[in-house]
Amino acid sequence: MEKEQGQSQDSFDLTRKFCLILLSDIMRGRNSIVRREFNEFLTLEDEIKIKAAFEKDEIKPDDDINTSVDQTKSLSANIAWGLEYPAIDGDDHTKLGEPQAFLEKLYEIFSWGKCESAETIGNKNRLSWYAVILRYWVSGNGFGMIIDKSLTYAQNSFDYKVRIDGQLIPYNHQSMMHRNIVMSETLQAIESVVLFSFANYFLRFSEAYKRIHGIEGEMNNDWYEFVEYGTTNKLTIFLQRNGFSRETALFIRKHRSEYVVGLDDSKPVKIKKNILNCGNFSVVSEVEDMSINNPDLFVD
């Protein structure tokens, strides 16, 4: 399915999703509202032909209205041929070029150039910038560090542009207005691209990877989880799963020698109650709440 000339991205996205819903309903025999709306355009013979065409495929439409059968086939084939998430080293870091290469592969598999906005991941040239933000996000860096790295990227990129009054202007690092635009775009990219778009596609990848490799439960090197928790570090993920915010979890990890016991696999992780004397107001406030809601997590 391709976008018609002059069709807006929102209109295309909506049309595509309705088509995927309709296909899923036909395959499952569901008499949904969407299917009933198409009754005047599709005969019973049309639906039989559609169902027969997709019944031949080993991979059939599912209830994910964001992914087509062709995309699912391409994803499964690439995973079977060895596609994996970027590797994480012992210091919880990934090699510089690997996230971008992985995103470019997903760009091809999921046809982002056709299915996503040219203002975001539908523009392949922007993937290198998103890869920088993604890499530092999953490495557990705070917003300040990520913004700083994004500004450095913009400064060192010869073709980075900012939009002012509808016009794309070459980035000037000396301009406070330009720097503010990059800062704003970085925060927006974390929220709408990393935590939404990438999270959705990574979830799809993780589900397919586990299915193809016969993995039950959690998988190692799950970038969907890394994006969700903003870190690759197991302690930070554990703390967030137990209710701490990302910022407090990062603080505890940074001071783990003072406030954490049981870091090896033989003992459960516990937080020392003396963290209440750490002097960080927001951390102390969270710990006070957590000590009431989850007292077993703490030790004297």
pLDDT band at 17 (very low <50, low <70, confident <90, very high): low
Whether residue 135 has pLDDT greater than 90? yes
What pLDDT score does 9 carry? 63
What pLDDT score does 57 carry? 58
Neighbours of 176 (CB within 10 A): 8
User: Any idea where the domains of the chain sit in the sequence?
Assistant: 7-65, 67-232, 233-299
- Rounded to the nearest 5°, which phi and psi values hold at 115? -100, -15
- Rounded to the nearest 5°, which phi and psi values hold at 6? 85, -5
What pLDDT score does 95 carry? 78
* Dist CA 99 CA 200 (whole Å): 16
What pLDDT score does 71 carry? 83
Q: What is the pLDDT of residues 139-153, one digit of tens each?
A: 888 899 999 999 999
Whether residue 54 has pLDDT greater than 90? no
What pLDDT score does 86 carry? 93
**Which pTM does this prediction carry?**
0.74
Whether residue 65 has pLDDT greater than 50? no
pLDDT band at 158 (very low <50, low <70, confident <90, very high): confident
pLDDT band at 19 (very low <50, low <70, confident <90, very high): low
* Dist CA 142 CA 164 (whole Å): 27
Whether residue 211 has pLDDT greater than 80? yes
Give the mean pLDDT of 10-21. 63
